[in-house]
Amino acid sequence: MKNNAMKYARLAGWGAVALSLSLIASGTAFLVLFGLSVGVANAQEQAPAMPEILKAALRLEGKWEANASGQLGGKTHAFKYNMHFRKTASGSGLLMYETANIPDVGKLDGTNLIGYDPYDGKLHWFSVDNLGTTHDHTGELLSNDHIRLIHESSREGKPYREQIDIEWISADRVKIKLVGTLGGNVEEVLEGTFVRRSRH
């Protein structure tokens, strides 16, 4: 009987220790989880302010349409141009689809990804389309209503430069002009005043 009593006492002692350890572990887990939640909250509170150029770009969200004109190969063409901007990356950038039927050129079908790089302080606008474009543009804010994008590379051994100016006329009207030069000579000019048809 005495041995059994001692055995039960030891078991009860180990049970109390196990229970204490369990409570300590639970308390530690709670503190860890609480600390993580506080850390996340503080990180959210300390998130850097959105740069002005990204705010300006995000104003493009929605569907836009223009009666555009283009000077290509010495000819001037008129055509409808459509762009659809949608926010992406939790509102940190834009995904844009563009379409147009350009006389003597064909159908334009393009996709663009737009975002801000905090390390160089510039907007980046990467374009890919079915007519041979695959390149990045870097952008700066010239005024609250004017973004200028620049792309520089080489084609056929000559320097190629593309400048795109985006200027707001009003909340739902924006003028866009692209000028491409090859070896210092103007190769193409595309421009139009776009009207917002919807905000999403």
Q: What is the pTM of this model?
A: 0.77
Coarse DSSP helix, strand, coil percentages of the chain, rounded to the nearest 5 percent: 25, 55, 20
Give 125-166 as a 3 state SS string: EEEEECCCCEEEEEEEEEECCEEEEEEEEEECCEEEEEEEEE
**Angle in degrees, CA 82, 189, 105, rounded to 5:** 65
| CATH number of the 52-198 domain | 2.40.128.20
Strand partners, 153: 160
Grade residue 46 by pLDDT with cuts at 50, 70 and 90.
Answer: low
pLDDT single digits (tens) 62-117: 999 999 999 988 899 999 999 999 999 999 999 999 999 999 889 999 999 999 99
Cβ burial 14-33 (10 Å sphere, 16+ → b, else e): eeeeeeeeeeeeeeeeeeee
Q: At residue 35, does pLDDT exceed 70?
A: no
Cβ burial of 175 (10 Å; 0-12, 13-18, 19+) is middle
Instruction: Give domain limits for the chain.
Output: 1-47, 52-198
pLDDT in tens, 117-169: 999 999 999 999 999 999 999 999 999 999 999 999 999 999 999 999 999 99
Nearest in space to 116 (alpha carbons), one of 92, 134, 133: 92
